[in-house]
Amino acid sequence: MPPIIQPISPPFGTATTGYYKCFIEVNNKVLEASWKGQQPYPDFMRQDSTTYSTRPLQLSDAIVPAWIATDLLAYGSDACIRITKSAAFPVVKIAHPILEARRRVEREFEIVLKLSSLKIAAEVAVDPLLDENGLVQVTWEDLKARGREIEQLVGRLHQAGYCHGDLTPSNIMQNGAGRLVLIDFGFSGVVGEETHSCIPKGVYPSNAYDT
């Protein structure tokens, strides 16, 4: 039976024009896949494919057990979200093996810890970054019906002196108690401060965090 190959990151551009890469998972191992041509993924399941090449990536000793014991749920530009078998901490967020992505996830963790006491962000365990509230996606209809609640939620974030930087419907979730919370604080920061070097230039044109 051929191995199951699945992307765990979106395609990224590289320093060489026309060349792309992403991260894939094969039998609980993480590989970097590279190809030339168009940005969409090549056909990873073709065993005789010569359209892409791979190289193995070495995970840290701390990450390997967590990776093996979890299954992919979703992924974004900075990290993949994986499901665990733990009742207390069912979801784990693991940064992609890119320095900027790791820095953004580390900053997100620091900001979420500061905001968790205000009940604005999802609650996390101190180490590692884990959700403990059984978050579920909120439908577009529910979001429209709860517009006032969203305004108050974002208002509390701004009153605390922070901006989000990527406030989209997919980053508003509902926890196990039915309360709306914000997630994905990778672009967040203290209003007025200079943006961190890991934040893409186009997020804050003024190079300072703002609302």
55-89 pLDDT, tens digit per residue, is: 998 888 878 888 888 899 889 889 998 888 766 66
Quick one: tokens of 40?
A: 């969409």
State percent of the chain over pLDDT 70.
Answer: 88
Query: Does residue 134 surpass a pLDDT of 50?
Result: no
Number of domains in the chain: 1
Residue 24 lies in a domain: yes
Average pLDDT over residues 181-190: 86
Give the model's pLDDT for residue 33.
Answer: 93
Residue 8 lies in a domain: yes
Least trusted range by pLDDT, from 18-27, 62-71, 86-95, 143-152: 86-95
CA 4 to CA 25: how far, in whole Å?
Answer: 8
Q: What type of residue is 27?
A: N
110-133 pLDDT, tens digit per residue, is: 888 888 777 776 655 544 433 334
Quick one: tokens of 162?
A: 């922070």
> 47 in helix, strand or coil?
coil
Residue 45 lies in a domain: yes
* Beta strand pairing call for 91-95 and 172-174: unpaired
Classify residue 207 as left (phi > 0), alpha (psi -120 to 50) or beta: left
* pLDDT, averaged across the chain: 82
Cα angle 143, 117, 197 (rounded to 5 degrees) comes to 80
* Beta strand pairing call for 162-163 and 136-137: unpaired
Residue 20 lies in a domain: yes
Give the model's pLDDT for residue 19.
Answer: 93
Q: Domain of 27?
A: 1-58
Residue 176 lies in a domain: no
CA 180 to CA 194: how far, in whole Å?
Answer: 29
Give the model's pLDDT for residue 9.
Answer: 94
